[in-house]
Structure 1
Amino acid sequence: MNIENNQERRIENICNEVESLLKKKNHDYGNSFSIQFEKYGILSALIRMDDKMRRLENLLNGNKAQVEESIEDTLQDLVGYGTLALVELRKQKEGLNG
């Protein structure tokens, strides 16, 4: 198997993992991102992503986490928030509400 195909498979696997996690979290949180985005706009995405970036910085600086969340977990959340923001922006563009 060549390196390019292996890389493509890894990307696909990660996207599938994030998709599954995002759907579960979105259900568990009661679609809170969409509700917050409707109220505050794209700024709500920026704030949530900034929180995750700060967490990532702390983890990379060797600070011991008190809550069980790994670097991979944090990166998955960043991808998730980016995805949710894109969903909301496209809904706005299409004139959809919900």
Structure 2
Amino acid sequence: MERRRNINKVKMHSDICEVLNGIYEKKNHDYGDSFAKLRNELPNTILVRVYDKYSRLKTLMQGADQKVTDESIDDTLMDLANYCIMELIERKIANENK
């Protein structure tokens, strides 16, 4: 029977969330909260963002030749996770304002 290292997945999750928060802070500063602004105009904008990232992820995972080489599978997954969190935030704010 194969012995597995003791992996603390809860700690790994926490570490990833910390990185996600740093990325969110920097991008939100640079883009000026553009996700929330666009969502106010187009409430289902999350569907477009998720589809864009899904398409990018699919292309990367299929190993297609890439012209943009500074976005990895991990980068795309992080962006996808942040978009989902951003949507949760906007939904929470909208529900609290009802």
Common fold: TM-score over 0.5: yes
RMSD between superposed Cα atoms in Å: 1.4
SS at match of 2:83: helix
State the AA in 2 paired with 1:75.
L
State the AA in 2 paired with 1:88.
E
Q: Where has structure 1 moved over 4 Å in runs of 4 or more?
A: none
Query: In structure 2, what is the Cα distance between the partners aligned to 1:77 and 1:85?
Result: 12
What residue number does 1:34 align with?
Answer: 36
State the AA in 2 paired with 1:80.
N
State the AA in 2 paired with 1:12.
S
State the AA in 1 paired with 2:39.
F
What residue number does 1:51 align with?
Answer: 52
Number of matched pairs: 93
Instruction: Report the Cα offset of residue 65 of structure 1.
Output: 2.1
Q: Deviations over 1:33-83 (max 9, x none)?
A: 000011111x10110111000000000111122112000000000001001
Higher helix share: 1
Instruction: Report the Cα offset of residue 22 of structure 1.
Output: 0.9
Q: Which protein has the larger Cα radius of gyration, Structure 1 or Structure 2?
A: 2
What residue number does 1:23 align with?
Answer: 25
Instruction: Report the Cα offset of residue 3 of structure 1.
Output: 2.8
Instruction: Report the Cα offset of residue 25 of structure 1.
Output: 0.5
State the AA in 2 paired with 1:40.
L
Query: In structure 2, what is the Cα distance between the partners aligned to 1:22 and 1:62?
Result: 27
Q: Deviations over 1:5-46 (max 9, x none)?
A: x211111110100111011111111110000011111x1011
**1:3 aligned residue (3, 6, 18):** 6
Query: In structure 2, what is the Cα distance between the partners aligned to 1:39 and 1:3?
Result: 47
- Residue ranges of structure 1 left out of the alignment (5+ in a row): none
Query: In structure 2, what is the Cα distance between the partners aligned to 1:26 and 1:64?
Result: 30
